[in-house]
Amino acid sequence: MNLLNKLERKFGKYAIPNLMYYVVILYAMGLVISTLAPQVYMEYLMLDASKILRGQIWRCVTFMMWPMSGGIFINVLVIYCYYNMGRVLEYMWGSFRFNLYFLLGVVGHVLAAIIIYLAFGIVYPLTVEYLNFSLFFAYAMTFPDNQFLLFFVIPIKAKWLALFDGMYFLYGFVFGGVATKIAVVMSLLNFIVFFFLFKGSRYNPKEIRRKQQFKAQMNQTTHEAKRAGRHRCAVCGITDLDKPDMTFRYCSKCEGDFEYCQDHLYTHQHVTRGGMDPRQSRT
């Protein structure tokens, strides 16, 4: 059993179902604040490491309230897109693993801001952009062949979009300063940990679907077996579920595994080798 399984068994009960619902509420609140009073975000909500170290720990969460980019329509569309991606990942991984992935992303951002502040004395402007990129990278790793409509027209697979975004991160890492390098690596901490350290996080959707179908078939078989009952008369087909008080017995003179209710135990035609199966004579 790998580390993820152990963590899930121990802390899985604390997972928040449908986490993206609450994240989207933060995004929506941030969209309103940035439109009506952007200065409120800058002064009280942004990821300012100097103020976090002075006790304003709510900034570890509220920094996610800054909108991604563009106008209101684009932001609403992007929020809806990320909400759906998060829901799909939670469905495929389970609530605990998705919670852990998202939490590691938030922790990576906070640690990046604190490390940069302590090392260089500057407040690095980290927003939710890298966090959403890490969510998209996880989606692309899980569903590489799913398609998006680029500019609402051009179909492109998730893996190619992820490759393009990865080149953007690589460019920032190679040509950016030390602070940028720290921000890039730490903000993708969740992706690095899950897909390169926790080998068990490489989920195959087809395999998961196969397991789900197998589980459904097993549940259906179990349900049908329960409906069929433990005992069935070989003559009339009545079961112990039809009449719980009915007595069922095996006939010692019949060759084979035939069971009879009390009404047919002494009146049935005995089955001998090559003889008639009483189950074939039911009307």
* 232-266 pLDDT per residue, tens: 888 887 887 778 888 888 887 887 778 888 888 87
Q: What is the pLDDT of residue 32?
A: 87
pTM listed for this prediction: 0.67
| Percentage of the residues of the chain whose pLDDT score is greater than 90 | 10
How distant, in Å, are the alpha carbons of 10, 84, 150, 165, 189 from that of 100? 13, 18, 30, 23, 12
* Cβ count near 83 (within 10 Å): 16
CB of 251 within 8 A of CB of 267?
A: no
Residue 225 has pLDDT above 60, yes or no: no
Q: What is the pLDDT of residue 275?
A: 54
Total domains in the chain come to: 2
Domain CATH code at residue 73: 1.20.1540.10
Q: What is the pLDDT of residue 278?
A: 53
Q: What is the pLDDT of residue 235?
A: 80
Q: Residue 221 falls within a domain, yes or no?
A: no
Q: Residue 219 falls within a domain, yes or no?
A: no
> What pLDDT digit, counting tens, does each position of 120-132 carry?
888 887 888 888 8
Span 192-216, mean pLDDT?
61
Span 6-20, mean pLDDT?
86
Q: Residue 217 falls within a domain, yes or no?
A: no
Top-ranked range on mean pLDDT: pick from 70-74, 116-120, 245-249:
116-120
Q: Examine the fold and report which residue of 174, 208, 242 is the final residue of a domain before the chain moves on.
A: 208
Top-ranked range on mean pLDDT: pick from 76-80, 118-122, 155-159:
118-122
CB of 19 within 8 A of CB of 98?
A: yes
Q: Examine the fold and report which residue of 208, 238, 264 is the final residue of a domain before the chain moves on.
A: 208
Interatomic CA distance for residues 70 and 148, integer angstroms: 19
Q: Residue 66 falls within a domain, yes or no?
A: yes
- Structural domain of residue 253, as residue ranges? 226-281
